[in-house]
Structure 1
Amino acid sequence: MRRTKRHTFLGILSIGGFPDIDILIDNKKLIRKLYDKGMCNAFGYPTSIKRLLYKPIEDIIVYGNQVLRGLINNNQGCRNYYDMHRIQYIIQYSIAYTIARKYDISLKKVFRKYHSQLIYSYTNDKGQGKTIRLALYHSFKRDKIFFPQWLNKIKQSVEYKYKDTNPLKRNCYICGNPHQHIMFHRKKISLLRMPYSHIIKEMIRINRRQICLCQECFTKVSQNLLEYNQITKRKLT
């Protein structure tokens, strides 16, 4: 029997008005990708990800979701899509092994505490409670029209709309003057020295690296002649 080369185009049949594009997943290639990412050994057995051991659990799970979606989503139309359960297994257990090694506990305790989906609740930098989990797929049933629909989308004509976002066409941030614009830039926070000038304080507050000013306001803020309330109580136009 003639063997078919993996991950190559095999043929087209018409099914339900859509061409059936027959493609096979190259499982060995996907496992090599996971091996390169440190998620398994050369034989496809899950391992902990050493470079993520110092990361918080939420970041470890986020990374697992990125790899999981990246490898699985784009193969939904492949004939052997059911083989992706092994890829998911490797990613799932690799993340679990990483958490287990991070806290020096057994894999059994990890699944007992965080369940099979590795559900983890935490508080973010803004003090908000968040919950994250591994986005496991419950079914690996092939979607026969996945690739045909994708082909139809890329064949459609696209209308590009140009949007003018020139910051120099904005009004002055402080006084609202629509003329004589100059961009005022600040350095990264790590490169700034204390105490900050009033304009730098405001730019940090609104999370901007540059703002549009008129010539007069630019001169004043450069010499730190404006009080902070004069900058924040700007004219809105």
Structure 2
Amino acid sequence: MGKDKRGNRKRSVNGQIQLLVPHKVISQKIREFTQYSESCVFKPRLKLPVLDIINEYNAEIRGLYNYYCLATNVSQRLYKFKYYHYFSMVHTIARKENISVKKVIKKYGIDVPVKDGTGTRRIVGVKYHTKKGEKTMTYFNDRIVKKDFPETNVYDSFGYDISFNSQLITRLNANKCELCGSTENIEVHHVRKLKDIKDKYKKRGRHIPNWVLTMSKMNRKTLIVCKNCHWDIHGGK
């Protein structure tokens, strides 16, 4: 048993190297959502709108899947994580709106096609409006399977294309928050139009946050941030 350059475990089977998702990684990720209560309510997100709560959860599981998509046991490990992750999201929404989980399913449940077969299943999601009409966003519903090649383009939960060009890859590989310098739990924050974000604060006469100033200075629609800074951004700080 050895490790790759990311520190992930790898195993040789019949002379071929297999990448594995470490059990410890999934256990630590699950603990992030169970540390506040037995029902997995994630308190840092209680003040967010429901749409943003779902978006945050989607960004997490997509990021985790994109990182480990080449691992042989990615399906086994991530489906376990997904169970607790979805459980946490639903209970967080229930706590936010002070209703039961059953009522959350009734209020926000959306029927979506079953990825592995025929028929539909109900998943918590929301409908929202854009200039192009009504859109629907549910909790992550993609199949979790091992891939032979990593993704070269990633779409965030709202469907915006985050192109992994060479510069963005270089910034990601630096593994450093571009706001506070942290090297822990690095994520990507993405905005559709940088100008719209700047105008929003100018028109309202509000203080322009540091993350907006940083994006403006870099003239980039993406920002490499740690999880804490990402929470602050979505919390309006």
* TM-score normalised to structure 1 length: 0.49
Higher gyration radius (CA): 1
Report which of the two has the higher share of strand: 2
